[in-house]
Amino acid sequence: MSKILAFGASSSNNSINKKLASFVANKIAPQGAILIDLNDYEMPIYSDDRKIVDGIPEKAYEFKNLIKDSDGIVISLAEHNGSYTAAFKNIYDWISVIEEIVWNYKPILLLSASNGLRGGKSVMSAALKRFSLQSKFEIPNFCLPSFNENFSINDGVLDKALNAKLEEQLAIFKSQLSESQ
C-alpha cells in the first residue's frame, strides 16, 4: 500500500482544492492517504535575512519530512492572480532551502480546480514548468473547471469526459508509484 501525501495548496478553510486533493488521494490510497492542511504549516514570510537571523522554522522541517516519508504526492493547486497562493509559495520557499530537490524525486500528481472555465490552467502551467525540473517522471496533471458544477464530494468528477481524463492521469501516477517502490 502506498503512503500518499496530499494537500490543497490553499489556506482557505473551505478550499475546493482541498476537497479535490482529498477525494483523489483517498481514491488512490484509502488507507494510506495523509491529508494535510497548509494552515498547520504557516510560517513567517521567507527571506534570506530572516533565515540567517532566525534559522529555518521547525514547521518547514516537519513539512519536508512528510514529503520524505511519503511514496507519492498529490497537490491540488489553487490559483491566485494566475499563480500559486501566497501560503503555498511561502512553504515551497522554506522547504527549498532545506534541500534543493524539493519533492525528493517522488511521483507527483498535480491537480487544480476553480469555479472558472479554465480550471486553474495558469497555475498548473507554472507548476509543471518548475516541478518538472526536479522530477524523474513526467508529471500527470488534471485541471477541473467549473468546480461547483463538475464535482461532488461523494461521486467525484461528474462530467464523463473530465472524469475519463482524471482516470487517465491517475493510472499514470499509480504506475509511477509502482515503478518507484
Question: 490559483: which residue's cell?
Answer: 79
Q: Using 50, 70 and 90 to split pLDDT, how confident is the model at 181? A: confident
- Express each pLDDT in 86-95 by its tens digit: 999 999 999 9
What is the distance between the alpha carbons of residues 120 and 126, in angstroms, rounded to a whole number? Answer: 10
What is the distance between the alpha carbons of residues 30 and 24, in angstroms, rounded to a whole number? Answer: 9
- Residues 95, 102: contact at Cβ < 8 Å? yes
Region 176-181 average pLDDT: 91
Ordered structural domains, the chain, with CATH: 4-180 (3.40.50.360)
pLDDT at 32: 84
Predicted structure pTM score = 0.96
pLDDT at 79: 93
pLDDT at 2: 86
Picking from 63, 79, 168, the residue whose alpha carbon sits closest to that of residue 115 is 79
- Express each pLDDT in 11-54 by its tens digit: 999 999 999 999 999 999 989 899 999 999 999 999 999 999 99
DSSP state of 159: S
Statement: residue 59 has pLDDT above 80: yes
DSSP state of 83: B
- Express each pLDDT in 118-144 by its tens digit: 999 999 999 999 999 999 999 999 999
Region 98-112 average pLDDT: 96
Question: 488534471: which residue's cell?
Answer: 142
Statement: residue 1 has pLDDT above 80: no
